[in-house]
Amino acid sequence: MTKATSRNTLTIEPDKSSLSGVALLRAFEQSFEGILVTDEQNLIIAANDAFSRMSGYLVEELIGKDPRILGSSRATPETYASMWQALASSDYWAGDIWNTHKDGSIYPCQLRIAVLRDTDGRAKNHVANFNTAITNHEAADRLAYLAYHDPLTNLPNRLAFESQLEQALHACERENRQLALMLIDLDNFKNINDTLGHQVGDQLLQNVALRLRECVRSSDLVARIGGDEFVVVLPEIESPLTAARVAGKIQSNLADSYQFGDHTLYATPSIGISLFPFDGNDPGTMLRNADTAMYHAKSAGRNNHQFYTARMNEAAGERLQMENELRQAISSISPSNCEFTLNFQPQIETKTGRVLGLEALLRWNNPKLGPISPARFIAIAEETGLIQPLGDWVIWETCRHIRNMKLEGITGIRVAINISAQQLRHDTLLQLVRGALACYDLLPDDIELEITESTAMQHPETTLSILDQLSSMGVMLAIDDFGTGYSSLAYLKHLPIQRLKLDRSFVTDIESDPNDAAICKATIALGHSLGLELVAEGVETEAQRDFLAKLGCDILQGYLYSKPMPFDETVAFLKAYQAAHP
Ligand code: C2E
Ligand code: CA
Ligand code: CA
- Domain borders along the chain are 2-145, 150-308, 333-580
Let me know: does 357 contact 412? Beta carbons within 8 Å.
no
Q: How many A from CA of 482 to the centre of ligand 1? A: 14
> Mind listing the pLDDT tens digit for each residue in 136-172?
566 667 777 777 888 899 999 998 999 999 999 999 9
**Protein residue with least CA distance to atom 7, ligand 1:** 538
Let me know: does 481 contact 453? Beta carbons within 8 Å.
yes
Q: Which atom of ligand 1 is nearest to the CA of 540?
A: 18
| CATH level 2 (architecture), domain 150-308 | 2-Layer Sandwich (3.30)
Let me know: does 548 contact 510? Beta carbons within 8 Å.
yes
Residue 270 CB contacts under 8 Å (≥ 6 apart), including other chains: 184, 185, 187, 294, 297, 298, 302, 303, 304, 305
**Protein residue with least CA distance to atom 11, ligand 1:** 564
CA-nearest of 575, 495, 503, 488 to 536 is 503
Name the helix (H) or strand (E) containing 572: helix 567-580
Q: How many A from CA of 399 to the centre of ligand 1? A: 19
CA-nearest of 582, 483, 465 to 534 is 483
Query: How many Cβ atoms sit within 10 Å of the Cβ of residue 242?
Result: 14
Half-sphere exposure of 435 (CA within 13 A, CB side): 11
Let me know: does 347 contact 577? Beta carbons within 8 Å.
no
What is the CA 511 to chain-centroid distance, rounded?
35
> Mind listing the pLDDT tens digit for each residue in 269-313?
999 999 999 999 999 999 999 999 999 898 877 888 999 987 777
Q: Is 538 in the pocket of ligand 1 (CB under 6 A)?
A: yes
Q: Is 127 exposed, middle or buried (0-12, 13-18, 19+ CB in 10 A)?
A: middle
Let me know: does 381 contact 390? Beta carbons within 8 Å.
yes
- Give the per-residue pLDDT at 16: 46
Q: Is 508 in the pocket of ligand 1 (CB under 6 A)?
A: no
CATH for 333-580? 3.20.20.450
Tens place of pLDDT for every residue, the chain, 582 residues?
A: 333 333 333 444 444 445 566 777 778 888 888 999 999 999 999 999 999 998 999 999 999 999 988 887 776 677 778 888 888 888 899 888 888 888 888 888 888 999 988 888 888 899 999 988 765 566 667 777 777 888 899 999 998 999 999 999 999 999 999 999 999 999 889 888 888 888 899 999 999 999 999 999 999 999 999 999 999 999 989 888 889 999 999 999 999 999 988 888 888 999 999 999 999 999 999 999 999 999 989 887 788 899 998 777 777 778 888 999 999 999 988 877 799 999 999 999 999 999 999 999 999 999 999 999 999 999 899 888 899 999 999 999 999 999 999 999 999 999 999 999 889 887 789 999 999 999 999 999 999 999 988 888 777 788 889 999 999 999 999 999 888 776 666 677 889 999 999 999 989 999 898 888 998 998 899 899 989 999 999 999 999 999 999 999 999 999 999 999 999 999 999 999 878 877
Let me know: does 556 contact 524? Beta carbons within 8 Å.
no
Ion ligand 2 neighbours (CB, 5 A) are: 418, 450, 480
d(CA 444, CA 465): 18
CATH for 2-145? 3.30.450.20
**Protein residue with least CA distance to atom 46, ligand 1:** 418
**Protein residue with least CA distance to atom 23, ligand 1:** 538
